[in-house]
């Protein structure tokens, strides 16, 4: 087993990996940019080293600097987390050349699965169903001709990268030229590669992914599925596990396809196969993420498997120690990604110092975060503040627990997406569990709208408001009468703290 691991990342994923390492008796090394000197991951690490200026291209993405630090501190492995260098095949190769273990698949595997066109070709050969479309990159003229051939709507997609970058939905032919231009521009800016391909748009798709683990001893297993259909601009914001309405038969078929995909490229470590599932429960390979994912925690919650520890062990050459027959689903888990964004202003970023940070707790509540009270959310990096993961014995309990945890979660000094998540948890379509990737656009006006209420609920809200108004008027008149008669204590028994609490409650509660 490794003695010292450098975590080539920051924020909550760096903290998550450090916790796993510390439980395994492994020393940890943090790297930090100028603005991250006081970051939580730096404070938690056994050692920490400066890696450059705030922009990621000048710090966390500088391969040689990261490797130099690893050599200097004597780290025998590097964990990349997600983002930054996590899916950079050249970085994995450089680690190997330096005699440092990269905790993830090989560079060749990342290149095979990181490029979506190559991945589609590989999956087609492995017998994994893919969305109808091209298996090679196209010029604008070829893309236009192919779109006309298979019929609109289509998705124009960047071959490299992910995270919703370089993707455009085209429903009408007149939109195609502009979609191609914008997708190429965004892909070039994000990934340095403007290669595009075209695939048929799956109507009413659900985004279902299968978590994979593989070791060097020939064992590859899946940890069942996650539902990731609640997305805003192709970015996941709420996930749950297991998937809604996924039958044991469909789970088995998708799991087998994901394992076949991993085995086809000789995968080692933790990874994820992402699928689109249509309204007929037919599934199609979307892409493979060759890293630990943000939402891995909900799979841990329902299976009891520590995915980060498993990938560390696998990359150290140890067997997984778990077989497919050992994987069992217990209960239901929901993850809400809390971002430093203002949902009332079209989710504009809200960087700044966190003045108050009071996280939720209680049974079944897990919070993975890279911040603390007094920390600063920087403009230079992803605005995710925390991942709230709530487990319940069933979906209903998981939802109620998430509602309760969100109501307890207090963050001040910056705006967060907590109010948006509260709306999702109350939305009748979400509660029914019958939603697809169009949920936020179609049911919540792109995130600006809220939950819908029925007539009875509207009437109840009005009734409560009327009662509260009457109580306020009564107490106001009583206070005036007490003052006029010279009474002390406001007429409520002389307990000033109780009086203050009651007045605060009428004003909407203590904030």
pLDDT grade for 511, boundaries at 50, 70 and 90 = very low
pLDDT grade for 465, boundaries at 50, 70 and 90 = low
Look at residue 496 and tell me if it is in a domain. Answer: yes
What are 106's two structure tokens? 């090989």
What are 93's two structure tokens? 């190769």
Looking at the structure, do residues 70 and 136 belong to the same domain, yes or no? no
Looking at the structure, do residues 220 and 315 belong to the same domain, yes or no? yes
- Give dist(CA 160, CA 145) in Å, integer: 22
pLDDT score, position 44: 98
291 is catalytic: yes
Of 313, 330, 347, which residue sits at a domain end?
Answer: 330
Of 269, 304, 330, which residue sits at a domain end?
Answer: 330
Looking at the structure, do residues 247 and 274 belong to the same domain, yes or no? yes
Into how many domains does the chain fold?
Answer: 5
CA 281 from chain center: how many Å?
Answer: 24
Looking at the structure, do residues 264 and 121 belong to the same domain, yes or no? yes
Return the DSSP state at 133: B
Per residue in 53-97, pLDDT (tens digit) is: 999 999 999 999 999 999 999 999 999 999 999 999 999 999 999
Of 200, 217, 237, which residue sits at a domain end?
Answer: 200
Q: In the predicted model, is pLDDT for residue 452 greater than 50?
A: no
Element containing residue 202 per DSSP (H, E): none
pLDDT score, position 510: 47
Looking at the structure, do residues 468 and 412 belong to the same domain, yes or no? no
pLDDT score, position 499: 62
Look at residue 87 and tell me if it is in a domain. Answer: yes
401 within 8 A of 298, measured Cβ to Cβ: no
Q: In the predicted model, is pLDDT for residue 347 greater than 90?
A: yes
Q: In the predicted model, is pLDDT for residue 145 greater than 50?
A: yes
Q: In the predicted model, is pLDDT for residue 491 greater than 50?
A: no
pLDDT score, position 490: 41
Q: Torsions phi, psi of 332, nearest 5?
A: -140, 145
Look at residue 64 and tell me if it is in a domain. Answer: yes
What are 259's two structure tokens? 């394992």
Q: Which of 305, 358, 292 is nearest to 16 (CA)?
A: 292
252-259 long-range contacts (CB < 8 A, ≥24 apart) are 253/283, 254/208, 254/210, 254/225, 254/283, 255/210, 255/222, 255/224, 255/225, 257/128, 257/129, 257/210, 257/283, 257/285, 258/210, 258/212, 258/222, 259/212, 259/220, 259/221, 259/222
Looking at the structure, do residues 325 and 344 belong to the same domain, yes or no? no
Looking at the structure, do residues 112 and 187 belong to the same domain, yes or no? no
pLDDT score, position 449: 67
Q: Which residues make beta-bridge pairs with 289?
A: 272
233 vs 387: which has the higher pLDDT:
387
Look at residue 457 and tell me if it is in a domain. Answer: no
Give the residue-averaged pLDDT of 255-278: 96
Looking at the structure, do residues 145 and 235 belong to the same domain, yes or no? no
pLDDT score, position 505: 59
Query: What mean pLDDT is reported for the chain?
Result: 90
pLDDT grade for 487, boundaries at 50, 70 and 90 = very low
Looking at the structure, do residues 217 and 98 belong to the same domain, yes or no? no
- Give dist(CA 17, CA 4) in Å, integer: 12
Q: Which of 79, 69, 64, 68 is nearest to 24 (CA)?
A: 79
By mean pLDDT, which of 384-393, 413-422, 451-460 is the weakest?
Answer: 451-460
197 within 8 A of 140, measured Cβ to Cβ: no
Q: Which residues make beta-bridge pairs with 504?
A: none
pLDDT grade for 492, boundaries at 50, 70 and 90 = very low
pLDDT score, position 489: 42
pLDDT grade for 447, boundaries at 50, 70 and 90 = confident
pLDDT score, position 456: 45
Element containing residue 388 per DSSP (H, E): strand 384-392
Catalytic residue among 10, 111, 226, 291: 291
Per residue in 25-49, pLDDT (tens digit) is: 999 999 999 999 999 999 999 999 9
Looking at the structure, do residues 52 and 150 belong to the same domain, yes or no? no
Look at residue 226 and tell me if it is in a domain. Answer: yes
Looking at the structure, do residues 67 and 185 belong to the same domain, yes or no? no
CATH of the domain at 236: 3.30.470.20
Give the residue-averaged pLDDT of 271-292: 93
Look at residue 288 and tell me if it is in a domain. Answer: yes
pLDDT grade for 361, boundaries at 50, 70 and 90 = very high
- Give dist(CA 114, CA 257) in Å, integer: 18
CATH of the domain at 164: 3.30.1490.20
- Give dist(CA 442, CA 361) in Å, integer: 33
Domain span at residue 358 reads 332-452
Q: For 472-484, give one letter per residue: b (16+ CB within 10 A) or e.
A: eeebeeebeeeee
Q: In the predicted model, is pLDDT for residue 116 greater than 90?
A: no
Give the residue-averaged pLDDT of 377-396: 97
pLDDT grade for 493, boundaries at 50, 70 and 90 = very low
Look at residue 458 and tell me if it is in a domain. Answer: no
pLDDT score, position 460: 53
CATH of the domain at 60: 3.40.50.20
- Give dist(CA 489, CA 260) in Å, integer: 75
pLDDT score, position 448: 76
Look at residue 97 and tell me if it is in a domain. Answer: yes
Q: In the predicted model, is pLDDT for residue 336 greater than 70?
A: yes
Looking at the structure, do residues 89 and 115 belong to the same domain, yes or no? no
- Give dist(CA 324, CA 314) in Å, integer: 16
pLDDT score, position 507: 58
349 vs 449: which has the higher pLDDT:
349
- Give dist(CA 292, CA 212) in Å, integer: 10
Q: In the predicted model, is pLDDT for residue 254 greater than 80?
A: yes
The winner for highest mean pLDDT among 123-132, 156-165, 366-375 is: 366-375
């Amino acid at each position: 087993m490794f003695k010292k691991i450098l975590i080539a990342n920051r924020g909550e994923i760096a903290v998550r990996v450090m916790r796993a390492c510390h439980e395994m008796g492994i020393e940890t090394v943090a790297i930090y940019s100028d603005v991250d000197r006081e970051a939580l991951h730096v404070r938690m690490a056994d050692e920490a080293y400066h890696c450059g200026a705030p922009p990621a291209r000048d710090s966390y993405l500088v391969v040689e600097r990261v490797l130099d630090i690893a050599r200097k501190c004597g780290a025998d492995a590097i964990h990349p987390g997600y983002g930054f260098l996590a899916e950079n095949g050249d970085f994995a190769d450089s680690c190997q050349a330096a005699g440092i273990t990269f905790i993830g698949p090989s560079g060749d595997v990342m290149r095979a699965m990181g490029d979506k066109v190559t991945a589609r070709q590989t999956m087609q050969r492995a017998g994994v169903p893919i969305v109808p479309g091209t298996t090679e990159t196209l010029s604008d003229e070829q893309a236009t001709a192919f779109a006309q051939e298979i019929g609109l709507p289509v998705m124009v997609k960047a071959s490299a990268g992910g995270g919703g970058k370089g993707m455009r939905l085209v429903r009408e032919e007149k939109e195609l030229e502009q979609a191609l231009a914008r997708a190429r521009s965004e892909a070039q800016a994000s990934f340095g590669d403007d290669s595009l391909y075209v695939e048929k748009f799956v109507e009413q798709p659900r985004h279902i992914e299968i978590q994979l683990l593989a070791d060097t001893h020939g064992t590859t297993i899946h940890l069942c599925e996650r539902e990731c259909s609640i997305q805003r601009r192709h970015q996941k914001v709420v996930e749950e596990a297991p998937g809604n309405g996924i039958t044991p038969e469909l789970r088995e078929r998708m799991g087998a396809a994901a394992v076949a995909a991993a085995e086809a490229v000789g995968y080692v470590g933790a990874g994820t196969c992402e699928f689109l599932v249509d309204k007929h429960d037919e599934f199609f390979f979307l892409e493979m993420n060759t890293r630990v994912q943000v939402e891995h925690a909900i799979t841990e919650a329902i299976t009891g498997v520590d995915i980060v520890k498993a990938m560390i062990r696998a990359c150290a050459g140890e067997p997984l120690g778990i077989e497919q027959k050992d994987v069992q689903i217990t209960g239901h888990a929901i993850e809400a990604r809390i971002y430093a964004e203002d949902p009332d202003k079209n989710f504009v970023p809200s960087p700044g110092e966190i003045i108050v940070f009071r996280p939720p707790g209680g049974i079944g509540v897990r919070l993975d975060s890279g911040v603390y009270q007094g920390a600063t959310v920087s403009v230079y990096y992803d605005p995710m503040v925390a991942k709230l993961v709530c487990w319940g014995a069933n979906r209903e309990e998981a939802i109620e627990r998430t509602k309760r945890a969100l109501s307890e979660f207090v963050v001040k000094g910056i705006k967060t997406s907590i109010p948006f998540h509260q709306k999702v948890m109350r939305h009748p379509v979400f509660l029914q569990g019958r939603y697809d990737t169009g949920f936020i656009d179609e049911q919540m006006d792109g995130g600006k709208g809220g939950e819908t209420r029925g007539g009875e609920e509207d009437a109840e809200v009005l009734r409560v408001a009327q009662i509260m108004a009457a109580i306020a008027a009564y107490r106001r008149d009583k206070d005036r009468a007490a003052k006029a008669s010279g009474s002390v204590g406001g007429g409520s028994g002389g307990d000033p703290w109780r009086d203050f609490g009651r007045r605060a409650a009428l004003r909407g509660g203590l904030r």
